[in-house]
Amino acid sequence: MSESPEPRVAPRTLAGATILQIIPALREEPLARTAVDVAHALLQSGARALIAADGGPLVNEVSAAGAEWIPLVTATANPFRLRRNARAIEQLIAFERVDIVHAHGPEAAWSARVAAAQIAVWLVTTLPDVPAKPTGFRGLYAGALAQGDRIIAPSNYAAVPIIKRYRVSPEQITIIPRSIDTAAYHPRAVAAERVSALRDEWQIAPDEQIVLVPGRVAPWNGQMIVPQTVRMLVDYGLRGVSFVIVGENRRHARYARAVLARAKEQGVEALFRFTGHCPDMPAAFAAANIVAVTALEPPVLGRVVAQAQAMGRPVVTTDAGVLPEHVVTPPDLPEDLRTGWVTAAGDPTDFARALARGLALDATAYRAMSARARQFAEYMFSPESVAAATRAVYTSLLARDL
């Protein structure tokens, strides 16, 4: 008589699991908003969702959803405070029967790593958008980010330095970009009256195309190349296009004046509009035909590229930081999936060529690219997609069991 096989234990799922996220504060900012979205997704899966953070306006939303807020201040470089945080997290893990701790940021990761060394728990860490420099206390804490059982990076740009510096296996890292509000940034969410009001405010004729240049007017955002770019396009025969520079322009007023002076030198000032801060960016993107992001230095988030595509607008951007990862271009993917163009940062000739290609699209090709841009944004940046990808990381750990 043969021996009966041992019963196989089914992998654990999120149902009944307890997940603790640790973030700096529950203020309305991308990191906290993502944590709240993930908590919603966990609750829908039957999990228990805890968020340890300093207080903020999102506390009521967390509680109303059925998640639990635990006051904890992690935004500090004080080693004694972080050691106390580690003890508090260890007690939380034991008392609340936490299965997974998800630490956002180096300080939270350091405290969570110390706690996880004392008690059995899975640790997930999330890297900051801009790679941290390994100096001082914060450099020491940054090393804890590489010690998660799984590491979430918002981009390859953020992941590569950690892989190289700490010899982390690429298989340990999951790329999950920051989410944007794809419901607010949706072509159908913007009434035609909002677009017409902006065009009237900007004094742009109904038959003119618009190239929108969003972002604070500042040296690192590269608006200085736009006048020369426009001059090249005009020399090539461009007509019927206005260039609208939308963004706060008072903090770096001297630079803003220099950009306008450069436009006058190039003889193209009549094609420019400097609007200052725009409170209705979804309508601004909807008014545009092409969105141009001229950044010279890596932005912290680079959300304007994602937001523009969510509005169904092709994008011309630069190769600064994370920006190339937010656009679909060959050779990474086929030409028929393209949603925009990536150019060399600070190169007006390269930027002019890309803009010329975008503005030369016929109606059919433009509609197809617009639809692809929206689909790509929904797939990559929607709160639902980001929360689902994070939930999948948790599920993969639970399936491994401790």
The confidence score (pLDDT) of residue 362 equals 96
The Cα–Cα gap between 11 and 399 comes to: 5
The confidence score (pLDDT) of residue 138 equals 59
pTM of the model: 0.91
Residue of 281, 360, 357 whose CA lies nearest to 316: 357
**Domain boundaries defined on the chain:** 18-179+383-400, 187-381
The confidence score (pLDDT) of residue 4 equals 44
The confidence score (pLDDT) of residue 139 equals 63
Contact 13, 401 (CB under 8 A): no
The confidence score (pLDDT) of residue 219 equals 97
Q: State which CATH number among 3.10.20.90, 1.10.1760.20, 3.40.50.2000, 3.40.50.10470 fits the domain covering 18-179+383-400.
A: 3.40.50.2000
Q: What is the mean pLDDT of each run of 10 residues along the chain (402 residues)?
A: 44 88 93 94 96 95 94 88 95 96 93 93 92 63 89 94 91 95 97 97 95 97 97 95 96 96 97 95 98 93 93 98 96 96 97 97 97 98 96 94 54
The confidence score (pLDDT) of residue 5 equals 45
The confidence score (pLDDT) of residue 302 equals 82
* 101 contact partners, CB below 8 Å, separation of at least 6: 20, 22, 89, 93, 112, 115, 116, 121, 122, 123, 124
CATH 3.40.50.2000, applies to 187-381: yes
The Cα–Cα gap between 326 and 333 comes to: 13
